Amino acid sequence: MTRSLTCAAVQMRSTTDVATNRDAFETLVRAAASKGAGYVQTPEMTGLIQKNRAALMESIFAQDDDPIVSSAGRLSKELSVWLHVGSTPIDRGDGKVANRAFLFAPDGTLRVSYDKIHMFDVDLDNGESWRESAIYEPGDRAVTADIGKACLGLAICYDVRFPDIFRRQALAGAEILTTPAAFTRQTGEAHWHVLLRARAVENGAFVVSAAQGGTHEDGRETYGHSMIIDPWGRILAEKDDDEPGVIIAEIDLEQVAEARGKIPNLKNIRPFNLVDAQ
């Protein structure tokens, strides 16, 4: 019997105002559900994009009080969907912030959360410098979750450059890998497509990646191009711009076993030692 799931990726252009972002989030999630999606993913920093530390700290909430978290729980139950908030900033109460993803079940319960592990601490050619570790506390655990028809692996944005997370999730049974993101325009134009397709191919898994896109109120530019990719690396759906909106694709989960049967690299892994030949 064919196992299929209709997946949606919500592309946003989040602002520095949480209420505005919550309204946009709810509108786009409803649009995705109306198209028949059973799993809906939103991008990294769904609830707030604010690079000024002081302004960020004044605008965020603890998890139990966060408007996006409470809205997601209510919407998932109302719409009867698996709702994956790609991430939103959460006040940890210790002076640091968590870049935290949330997965809600169709009954409205929080199934799992995930804190971004890898911090985007880089200096780009165009003069952009980012130091996420100055504000955010990295997570220390990778996460998978059973969503009924499939096993889902959670990751966020910069994590996509660290293949070990996805390999370990695939070995644990993940059939859908996720990388909701707020990729910069420069790095997105260079690497977005190739990184996402590589994670799909090397793990024989679907990849769903909802993205931020466009010029944001805090001045940053993000790439957009939300995508859904199959285990053979084919792009099933792409938001081919940086505008807010929804993409959707029905995925046949039997293709995971087919791809892994054709290229059984997960089974062919062998231990090895690295030798310094100097």
Active site residues: 44, 116, 157
CA dihedral 197, 32, 182, 156 (to 10 degrees): -60
Token code pair at residue 110: 């929080």
CA separation for the pair 40, 32 (Å, rounded): 7
Contacts of 8 (CB under 8 A, 6+ apart): 32, 33, 35, 37, 39, 40, 41, 246, 247, 248
Of 85, 96, 97, 94, the C-alpha closest to 42 is: 85
Handedness of CA 21, 26, 31, 35 (dihedral sign): positive
Of 133, 128, 130, 129, the C-alpha closest to 118 is: 133
Token code pair at residue 216: 């944001």
